[in-house]
């Protein structure tokens, strides 16, 4: 049988056989007394590795007259029922009556940290044993697979094949088995992880002799499979020089796939990509952790558009939008007070993330005419320009002569969500809120501050005169009204969409002309944000 | 005897000339000394970056310093920290200042200019209010000449900023500067650009920078045609060595000169100046060119007090700037030294040098045309003719008188009477 057509079930059958042997060992050998008599020493264990499925892979040597598959007891001061399956190969440094061995042990023993004693007792009455070298090398599973790859050609074919089947079994997650699986090669260029959704993966997979039927990935302990409806192949002409002789395969060697599942993005480790072949076998490829990016953290959601240009038409788009929203909610974070100065009415500003804009806003605040029983509340992001924010705040405290408060928040674009906590901390019953990147003209300040000074119940949305509807960018209202309404409003990507639902306020939103401008963060959101937010809005309407 | 009594005037420079010898700093200090010379009660106020505090030695009891921290300055909207404004306000109060004349808003911030409680006049030295690209009005990164700023065009140079932010910058700076008492521009070209941008044209006075020590022009170095092997025609460059100043053009011209052995034997390009903070690749290119081309000499940094002598050791002064310039002090210094100027045919340079009369113009940034101008300059009789056409150079006292007249005009226009 050619190596490239190892039957799909073959690997699984090896494991089944070892399972049976281990059960036999547990039933019949655990009570046998162990005697490590030197005359019965039949070989040594030089290295061990534990794979993700818990199989121990060993390398060492053994007397030629011993069997290669047997029930056994692993002893490290304590007995462990075990089953061993080995293949043999010649090694020039060994005596003629011994050969080198490589193989798998099914056992619940695990190599401890540091030096350890290791014995494998086997044979009639457990008379014979292999002993661990001092020390036994503990390898990564990928190193053990590499070892097998190097010796495979010299191995006894009858005993090597079952091990190869085990490695290439579709159920196996041993890393770096691609070459054992029909000389397949694969690489992942990037992985975009989104908590609550899964992963978007782009890469290439070359299998000259077997057709790739699908993909799966293992992140930490989680296995996720590529959604067939969100998987496609594409040409990779950039690999022409690397693979000059693969002809038409070059046109479909690239792949893009969405893998759906609850991946623990904090513990994704070094993922493994599995190519599942049409014959039911598979090949695994360890993927460097550096290819992973977390959407919303180290990659913008727009990065997915490079993989799925028609993203909004994909079947998974609704789930994607909801996962983005859930991730945004999870990131809202708290509202950490840095300085709290009580005020009955508060002008609340979400400070721009851009250093220059923050300086400009502070300069214009000095001209705005804040006074009376009004206080100033700044909501600033924790990172970025925090040093400048502290200097700006000190300057405003000195210049304005009104109570000034400063809170640090996670994301200024979602400052609206932190408003109730900040307002309750300063004891403000009424407030004027300006989102990040919103600047008022002198006439705008006059109108907005006049609205703040009045004691009315209605929500007044600022019309900056830029043709965009009034909304969460700027409005004046009372704290109690906002605290009651906000939990009922959806969280939108980028923090802003239409009026953010503020129109649902009791009595609706009154429009107040307050000339001004939006720049930077408050500019028109990305196209993707618009699509996502429209999907979320539709969800909200259905709810 | 004072010629008039406008009250105490403060002349403010964005850096003290003891720390940086740029044209604006030199012009500000010359004005200060000129005002003192004609009997006006003036003080000189200079900004000093915190890191240079230990290096600064003030020249007289009439000098003040404002300490500035680059970390607290915003170089986009040009807003300084309130502490800078407070330092200036303390000087205004303690010294009884009646009028402030800022030479540049850099380091002080436009917020300070508009906040101080006395009439304020701003002398413009380049296009920083209009152009975020170091006030050069050249595009980024292509470095082509920019005819007029606009938010969309500026955003093309700085896409990371966006047009909306440039519109905000334009609005803020125009509003803040528009409220000042008046403006002085050393060139009609700059005045025109600023008026086109939105400053009130009626409140912009054009006053040439005066030199600190004006004197009659010196005669040519060695009259008459020079013979091969006997002497060389020397074309001198004076100023900071950076890409805006067109030094690369001189390197390219040197290569053209070396390609013509007959010309190379009769011509020297001598570069005077300091090279600080330039990209390593530019420095490497410069040093390689100097090593490769015998016609190219690097004379190194110079003391401004020696500039007249050094210019007189040249036959011509070359101003190869690739930006518009305003009123380069180096042109005034060349004229004072009796040396015609070869310069680009745009902006402030073309305004100050009359082609074929006081110098020769070439197409800005064009090495072949600069070489053509050099060849023309070496023709018999040309140098003598150009020397005869060099205009008189304004001195510090004349500049001070012109400024006083402008201050009075601004005050009259404001309806408040002349300061003092």
Residues A239 and A138 in one domain: no
Measured CA to CA, the distance from residue B381 to residue A434 in angstroms comes to: 71
Q: What is the pLDDT of residue B228?
A: 45
Q: What is the pLDDT of residue A198?
A: 95
Higher pLDDT, A268 or B65: B65
How many residues are recorded in chain A?
543
Percent of chain B with pLDDT over 90: 76
Q: What is the pLDDT of residue B3?
A: 46
Residues A384 and A275 in one domain: no
Answer whether B74 sits within 8 Å of A398, measured CB to CB: no
The DSSP string of A318-332 is HHHHHHHHHHHHHH-
Residue identified by tokens 């460097």 is A288
Is the pLDDT assigned to residue B291 strictly greater than 90?
Answer: yes
Of A280, A310, A340, the residue at which a domain comes to its end is A310
- Quick check: is A263 in a domain? yes
Please list every residue in chain A whose beta carbon sits closer than 8 Å to the beta carbon of residue B168.
Answer: 360, 439, 517, 519
Residue identified by tokens 């020297």 is B268
pLDDT, tens digit (0-9, with 9 covering 90-100), for B32-65:
999 999 999 999 999 999 888 888 888 889 999 9
Q: What is the pLDDT of residue A523?
A: 44
Nearest by CB to residue A439, choosing from B74, B75, B168, is B168
Is the pLDDT assigned to residue A497 strictly greater than 70?
Answer: yes
**B180 CA to chain A: closest CA distance, Å?**
16
Mean local confidence (pLDDT), B162-171: 94
pLDDT, tens digit (0-9, with 9 covering 90-100), for A446-468:
999 999 999 888 999 999 997 77
DSSP-derived 3-state class of residue A183: coil
Nearest by CB to residue A360, choosing from B81, B164, B172, is B172
Residues paired with A450 in a beta bridge: none
Per-residue confidence at A211, pLDDT binned at 50, 70, 90? confident
> For chain B, which residues make up each domain, given as ranges?
9-213+395-414, 233-388
Nearest by CB to residue A391, choosing from B81, B162, B165, is B81
Q: What is the pLDDT of residue B79?
A: 97
Measured CA to CA, the distance from residue A184 to residue A3 in angstroms comes to: 12
> Among A358, A360, A391, A524, which would you mutate to test the B interface (most chain B Cβ atoms within 10 Å of its Cβ)?
A360
Q: What is the pLDDT of residue A157?
A: 87
Answer whether A356 sits within 8 Å of B77, measured CB to CB: yes
Burial code (b: 16+ CB inside 10 Å, e: under 16) for B289-318 equals bbeebebbbbeeebeeeebbebbbebbbbb
Please list every residue in chain A whose beta carbon sits closer than 8 Å to the beta carbon of residue B74.
Answer: 355-356, 359-360
**A409 CA to chain B: closest CA distance, Å?**
23
Please list every residue in chain B whose beta carbon sits closer than 8 Å to the beta carbon of residue A356.
Answer: 74-77, 165
**B134 CA to chain A: closest CA distance, Å?**
16
CB-CB neighbours of B21 under 10 Å? 19
Per-residue confidence at A3, pLDDT binned at 50, 70, 90? very low
Nearest to A283 by CA among A207, A204, A223, A188: A207
**B80 CA to chain A: closest CA distance, Å?**
9
Nearest by CB to residue A356, choosing from B71, B74, B111, is B74
Per-residue confidence at A500, pLDDT binned at 50, 70, 90? confident
Mean pLDDT of chain B: 91
Domains of chain A: total = 3
Of A310, A343, A374, the residue at which a domain comes to its end is A310
Residues A463 and A533 in one domain: yes
Distance of CA A76 to the CA centre of its chain: 38
Residues A278 and A405 in one domain: no
Element (H, E) at B110: helix B110-115
- Quick check: is A89 in a domain? yes
Size of the A and B interface in Cβ pairs below 8 Å: 45
Answer whether B162 sits within 8 Å of A520, measured CB to CB: yes
How many residues are recorded in chain B?
420
Mean pLDDT of chain A: 89
**B86 CA to chain A: closest CA distance, Å?**
11
Q: What is the pLDDT of residue A330?
A: 85
Percent of chain A with pLDDT over 70: 94
- Strand residues in B15-95 grouped as ranges (E): 42-49, 63-68
Answer whether B72 sits within 8 Å of A357, measured CB to CB: no
Sign of the torsion angle spanned by Cα atoms A331, A334, A337, A340: positive
- Quick check: is A322 in a domain? no
Higher pLDDT, B220 or B391: B391
Residues A362 and A417 in one domain: yes
pLDDT, tens digit (0-9, with 9 covering 90-100), for A181-201:
567 889 999 999 999 999 999
> Among B78, B164, B178, B179, which would you mutate to test the A interface (most chain A Cβ atoms within 10 Å of its Cβ)?
B164
Per-residue confidence at B417, pLDDT binned at 50, 70, 90? very low
- Closest chain A residue by Cα to residue B160: A520
Residues A293 and A236 in one domain: yes
Window 89-118 of B: residues touching A by CB (8 A cutoff) are: 111
Is the pLDDT assigned to residue A123 strictly greater than 90?
Answer: yes
CATH number at residue A295: 2.60.40
> Among A356, A388, A401, which would you mutate to test the B interface (most chain B Cβ atoms within 10 Å of its Cβ)?
A356
- Closest chain B residue by Cα to residue A437: B165
**B119 CA to chain A: closest CA distance, Å?**
19
- Quick check: is A441 in a domain? yes
Q: What is the pLDDT of residue B419?
A: 43
pLDDT, tens digit (0-9, with 9 covering 90-100), for A67-92:
999 999 999 999 999 999 999 999 99
Alpha helices (H) in B270-355, listed in sequence order: 280-292, 307-312, 329-336, 347-352
Answer whether B164 sits within 8 Å of A519, measured CB to CB: yes
Residues A9 and A124 in one domain: yes
pLDDT, tens digit (0-9, with 9 covering 90-100), for B59-110:
889 999 999 998 889 999 999 999 999 999 999 999 999 999 999 999 999 9
The phi and psi torsions of A115 (rounded to 5 degrees) equal: -70, 150
Per-residue confidence at A2, pLDDT binned at 50, 70, 90? very low
Residue B174 tokens read as 């125009």
Is the pLDDT assigned to residue B397 strictly greater than 80?
Answer: yes
> Among B116, B165, B174, which would you mutate to test the A interface (most chain A Cβ atoms within 10 Å of its Cβ)?
B165
Q: Which residues, other chains included, contact A165 with Cβ-Cβ below 8 Å and sequence gap of 6+?
A: A6, A7, A10, A11, A13, A14
CATH topology of domain B233-388: Rossmann fold (3.40.50)
Please list every residue in chain A whose beta carbon sits closer than 8 Å to the beta carbon of residue B79.
Answer: 359-360, 362-363
Answer whether A517 sits within 8 Å of B82, measured CB to CB: no
pLDDT, tens digit (0-9, with 9 covering 90-100), for B258-276:
999 999 989 999 999 988 7
Of A251, A279, A310, the residue at which a domain comes to its end is A310
Measured CA to CA, the distance from residue B107 to residue B68 in angstroms comes to: 7
Mean local confidence (pLDDT), A225-235: 94
Answer whether B82 sits within 8 Å of A395, measured CB to CB: yes
CATH number at residue A469: 3.90.550.10
Residues A40 and A104 in one domain: yes
Answer whether B74 sits within 8 Å of A518, measured CB to CB: no
Q: Which domain holds residue A228?
A: 185-310
Window 142-171 of B: residues touching A by CB (8 A cutoff) are: 162, 164-165, 167-168
Percent of chain B with pLDDT over 70: 94
CB-CB neighbours of B37 under 10 Å? 13
Examine domains B9-213+395-414 and B233-388 and report if their fold is the same: yes
| Superfamily holding B9-213+395-414 | Glycogen Phosphorylase B; (3.40.50.2000)
């Amino acid at each position: 049988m050619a190596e490239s057509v190892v039957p799909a079930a073959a690997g699984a059958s090896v494991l089944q056989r070892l399972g049976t042997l281990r059960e036999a060992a547990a039933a019949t050998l655990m009570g046998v007394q162990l005697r490590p008599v030197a005359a019965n020493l039949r070989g040594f264990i030089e290295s061990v590795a534990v794979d993700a499925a818990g199989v121990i892979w060993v390398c060492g040597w053994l007397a030629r007259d011993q069997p290669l598959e047997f029930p056994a007891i692993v002893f490290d001061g304590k007995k462990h029922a075990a089953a061993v399956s080995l293949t043999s190969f010649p090694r020039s440094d060994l005596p003629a009556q011994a050969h080198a061995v490589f193989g798998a042990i099914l056992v619940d023993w695990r190599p401890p940290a540091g030096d350890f004693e290791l014995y494998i007792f086997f044979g009639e009455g457990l008379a014979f044993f292999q002993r661990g070298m001092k020390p036994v090398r503990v390898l990564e599973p990928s190193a053990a697979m590499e070892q097998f790859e190097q010796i495979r050609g010299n191995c006894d074919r009858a005993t090597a094949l079952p091990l190869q089947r085990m490695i290439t079994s579709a159920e196996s997650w041993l890393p770096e088995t691609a070459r054992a699986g029909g000389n397949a090669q694969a690489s992942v260029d990037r992985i975009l992880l989104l908590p609550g959704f899964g992963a978007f993966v782009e890469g290439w997979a070359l299998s000259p002799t077997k057709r790739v039927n699908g993909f799966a990935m293992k992140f930490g302990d989680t296995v996720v499979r590529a959604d067939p409806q969100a998987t496609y192949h594409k040409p990779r002409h950039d690999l022409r020089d690397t693979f000059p002789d693969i002809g038409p395969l070059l046109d479909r060697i690239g792949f893009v796939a969405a893998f759906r599942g609850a991946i623990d993005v904090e513990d994704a480790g070094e993922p493994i990509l599995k190519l599942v072949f049409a014959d039911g076998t598979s090949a695994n490829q360890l993927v460097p952790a550096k290819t992973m990016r977390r959407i919303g953290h180290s990659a913008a959601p727009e990065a997915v558009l490079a993989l799925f240009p028609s993203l909004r038409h994909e079947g998974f788009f609704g789930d994607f939008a909801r996962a983005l929203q859930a991730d945004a909610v999870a990131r809202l974070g708290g509202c950490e007070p840095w300085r709290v100065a009580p005020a009955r009415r508060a002008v609340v500003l979400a400070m721009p993330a851009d250093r220059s804009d923050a300086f400009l806003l502070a300069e214009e605040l000095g001209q705005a005419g804040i006074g009376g029983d009004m206080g100033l509340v700044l909501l600033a992001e924790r990172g970025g320009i925090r040093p400048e924010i502290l200097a700006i705040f000190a300057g405003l405290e000195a210049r304005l002569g009104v109570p000034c408060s400063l809170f640090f928040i996670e994301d200024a674009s979602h400052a609206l969500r932190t408003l109730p906590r900040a307002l309750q901390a300063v004891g403000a019953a009424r407030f004027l809120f300006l989102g990040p990147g919103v600047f008022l003209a002198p006439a705008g300040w006059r109108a907005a501050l006049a609205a703040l000074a009045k004691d009315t119940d209605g929500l007044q949305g600022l019309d900056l005169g830029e043709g965009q509807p009034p909304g969460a960018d700027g409005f004046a209202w009372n704290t109690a009204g906002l605290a009651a309404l906000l939990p009922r409003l959806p969280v939108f990507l980028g923090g802003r969409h239409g009026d953010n639902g503020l129109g649902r306020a009791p009595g609706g939103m009154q429009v107040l002309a307050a000339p001004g401008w939006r720049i930077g963060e408050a500019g028109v959101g990305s196209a993707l944000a618009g699509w996502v937010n429209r999907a979320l809005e539709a969800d909200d309407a259905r709810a | 005897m004072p010629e008039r009594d406008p009250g105490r005037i403060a002349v403010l420079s964005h850096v003290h000339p003891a720390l940086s010898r740029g044209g604006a700093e030199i012009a500000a200090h010359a004005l200060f000394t000129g005002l003192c010379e004609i009997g006006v009660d003036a003080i000189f106020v200079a900004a000093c970056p915190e890191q240079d505090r230990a290096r600064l030695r003030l020249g007289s009891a009439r000098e003040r310093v404002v300490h500035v921290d680059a970390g607290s300055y915003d170089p986009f909207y040009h807003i300084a920290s309130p502490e800078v404004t407070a330092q200036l306000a303390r000087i205004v109060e303690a010294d009884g200042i009646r009028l402030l004349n800022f030479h540049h808003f850099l380091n002080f911030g436009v917020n300070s200019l508009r906040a101080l409680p006395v009439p304020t006049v701003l002398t413009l030295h380049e296009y920083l209010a209009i152009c975020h690209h170091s006030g050069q009005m050249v595009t980024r990164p292509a470095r082509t000449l920019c005819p007029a700023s606009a938010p969309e065009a500026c955003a093309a140079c700085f896409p990371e900023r966006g047009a909306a932010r440039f519109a905000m910058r334009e609005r803020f700076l125009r509003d803040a500067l528009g409220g000042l008492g008046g403006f002085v521009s050393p060139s009609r070209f700059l005045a025109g650009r600023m008026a086109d941008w939105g400053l009130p044209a009626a409140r912009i006075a054009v006053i040439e920078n005066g030199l600190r020590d004006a004197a009659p022009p010196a005669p040519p170095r060695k009259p008459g045609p020079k013979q091969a092997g006997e002497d060389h025609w020397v074309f001198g460059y004076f100023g900071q060595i950076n890409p805006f100043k067109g030094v690369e053009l001189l390197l390219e011209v040197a290569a053209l000169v070396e390609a013509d052995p007959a010309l190379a034997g009769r011509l020297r390009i001598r570069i005077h100046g300091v090279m600080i903070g330039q990209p390593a690749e530019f420095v490497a290119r410069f040093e390689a060119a100097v090593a490769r081309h015998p016609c190219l000499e690097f004379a190194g940094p110079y003391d401004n007090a020696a500039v007249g002598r050094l210019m007189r050791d040249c036959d011509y002064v070359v101003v190869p700037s690739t930006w518009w310039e305003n009123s380069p002090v180096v042109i005034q210094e060349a004229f004072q030294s009796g040396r015609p100027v070869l310069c680009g045919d745009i902006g402030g340079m073309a305004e100050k040098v009359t082609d074929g009369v006081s110098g020769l113009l070439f197409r800005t940034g064009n090495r072949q045309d600069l070489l053509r101008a050099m060849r023309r300059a070496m023709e018999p009789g040309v140098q003598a003719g150009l020397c005869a056409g060099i205009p008189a150079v304004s001195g510090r006292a004349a500049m001070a008188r012109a400024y006083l007249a402008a201050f009075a005009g601004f005050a009259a226009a404001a309806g408040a009477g002349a300061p003092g």
